[in-house]
């Protein structure tokens, strides 16, 4: 881990000829994930948070090639489901945190079995966000280390749908943590940590201020507990600049502010970034199917939609869009709406975008698609999920095959 790349990789930094070749060779829609950039992002995080324990929030991207890249850097994995935990184990992670929300019985069965009979020596901690979750683990005979997820009453994030720190769904209420901690310890369990998470996409000044408040409250809580802890995990959610005019986070300043906010602490401070590790390491390639001038806008119909990249429809998220046409500089610009093939008004990847006059067959690239892109892809409208290509240096390989129409019904039982 000696290479530290720039604080953000902009869409213009991707080589257009390479992306065109990948689209020609693998078809579209196509996700492209650059493993070298993933390593650079981990290096940037380590340079800033060198004293803290870092775990990758697996939900941001679970493509095997990327998980293996991150595991090789030596950081840990934070998992929100049994499936994510199994993927992380298979990819080679040895330090794992299982931090599920309202975990189903089947998930707990799998995780407890894994803890009892691991494939190798694993540092696995299960985090409970409710007293019931603790009781469910006890009923299954789990006797490994535990942490408590806390609801500190402070949330932040790029959208209300991903603000978690003040949502009742997440964590044990702040003023009830001490009681649960005492119960866990009195029954002979090893309580090793506390966990909290403000939300996702923390980037603006107001978000950072809320995050510092969360860290401060968690530091106070850790000091108040009548119990020694190994770690205090204050979550991830570090955002990136999705718009080309936005500035990247100053990680050194964020790290310093986090240390200052938590105060004196015997436990090791931990963070769990996901988006920051993978977002700018991925792009989505899509082909123009139709170009339709209308009185309001030019509608550019593409073969990727909300089933390929959900974030614009789900969160009104902005992703930069660029044409890869070799003669783009020679075309007259138009104001366009880039829309997908899904039968929903929400199926729009970008509105009011200035693009070189689009033509049928052009390939467009959509930036910062490495986080929550392929991960949230679906089969709505019976659309097959896209393929994924992994880049590493000058080499490329197919990481995930394109789903076929016949595979859409492979789990269905004929009557």
Instruction: List, in sequence order, every beta strand (DSSP E) within 68-114.
Output: 76-79, 95-98
Nearest to residue 342, comparing CAs of 371, 310, 370?
A: 310
Catalytic residue among 105, 205, 343, 405: 343
Pairing of strands 321-323, 363-366: antiparallel
Alpha carbon of 385 to those of 4, 68, 72, 91: distances in Å? 33, 22, 28, 22
Is 98 assigned a ligand-binding role in the annotation? no
The Cβ of residue 260 has, within 10 Å, a number of other Cβ atoms equal to 12
Note if 79 is an active site residue: no
Is 272 assigned a ligand-binding role in the annotation? yes
Alpha carbon of 326 to those of 323, 364, 373: distances in Å? 9, 11, 26
Is 78 assigned a ligand-binding role in the annotation? no
Is 237 assigned a ligand-binding role in the annotation? yes
CA angle 316, 322, 328 (to 5 degrees): 150
Is 315 assigned a ligand-binding role in the annotation? yes
Alpha carbon of 152 to those of 18, 80, 218: distances in Å? 46, 19, 7
Instruction: List, in sequence order, every beta strand (DSSP E) within 87-158.
Output: 95-98, 123-128, 146-151
Q: How many CA atoms lie within 13 A of 193 on its CB side?
A: 27
The set of residues, in sequence order, having a beta carbon less than 8 Å from that of 167 and lying 6+ positions away, is 151, 155
Is 312 assigned a ligand-binding role in the annotation? no
Is 311 assigned a ligand-binding role in the annotation? yes
Residue ranges for the known binding site for substrate are 275, 311, 315, 344, 372
Residue ranges for the known binding site are 237, 272-275, 311, 315, 344, 372
Residue ranges for the known binding site for pyridoxal 5'-phosphate are 237, 272-275, 372
Residues forming the active site? 343
């Amino acid at each position: 881990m000696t290479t530290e790349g720039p604080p953000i990789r902009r869409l213009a930094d991707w080589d257009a000829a390479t992306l065109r070749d990948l689209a020609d060779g693998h078809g579209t829609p196509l996700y492209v994930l650059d493993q070298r950039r993933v390593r650079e992002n981990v290096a940037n995080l380590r340079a800033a948070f060198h004293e803290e324990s870092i775990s990758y929030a697996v939900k941001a991207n679970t493509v095997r090639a990327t998980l293996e890249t991150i595991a090789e850097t030596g950081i840990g994995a934070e998992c929100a489901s049994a499936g994510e935990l199994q993927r992380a184990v298979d990819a080679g992670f040895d330090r794992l945190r299982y931090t599920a929300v309202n975990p189903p019985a089947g998930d707990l069965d799998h995780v407890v079995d894994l803890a009892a009979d691991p494939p190798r020596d694993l540092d696995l901690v299960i985090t409970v966000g409710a007293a019931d979750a603790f009781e469910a683990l006890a009923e299954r005979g789990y006797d490994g280390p535990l942490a408590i997820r806390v609801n500190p009453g402070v949330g932040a994030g790029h959208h209300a749908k991903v603000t978690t720190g003040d949502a009742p769904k997440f964590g044990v209420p702040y003023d009830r943590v001490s009681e649960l901690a005492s119960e866990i310890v009195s029954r002979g369990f090893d309580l090793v940590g506390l966990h909290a998470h403000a939300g996702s996409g923390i980037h603006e000044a107001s978000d950072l201020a809320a995050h510092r408040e969360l860290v401060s409250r968690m530091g106070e809580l850790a000091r108040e507990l009548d119990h020694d802890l190994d770690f205090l995990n204050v979550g991830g959610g570090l955002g990136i600049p999705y718009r080309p005019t936005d500035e990247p986070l100053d990680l050194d300043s964020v790290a310093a502010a986090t240390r200052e906010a938590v105060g004196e602490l015997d436990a090791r401070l931990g963070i769990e970034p996901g988006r920051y590790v993978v977002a700018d390491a991925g792009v989505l390639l899509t082909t123009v199917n139709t170009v339709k001038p209308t009185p309001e806008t030019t509608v550019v119909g593409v073969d990727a939609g909300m089933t390929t990249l959900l974030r614009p429809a789900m969160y009104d998220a902005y992703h930069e869009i660029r044409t890869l046409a070799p003669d783009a500089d020679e075309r007259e610009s138009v104001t366009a709406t880039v829309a997908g093939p899904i039968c929903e008004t929400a199926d729009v990847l970008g509105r009011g975008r200035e693009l070189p006059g689009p033509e049928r067959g052009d390939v467009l690239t959509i930036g910062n698609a490495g986080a929550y892109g392929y991960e949230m892809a679906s089969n709505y409208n019976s659309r097959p999920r896209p393929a994924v290509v992994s880049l590493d240096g000058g080499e490329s390989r197919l990481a995930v095959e394109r789903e076929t129409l016949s595979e859409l019904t492979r789990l269905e039982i004929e009557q």
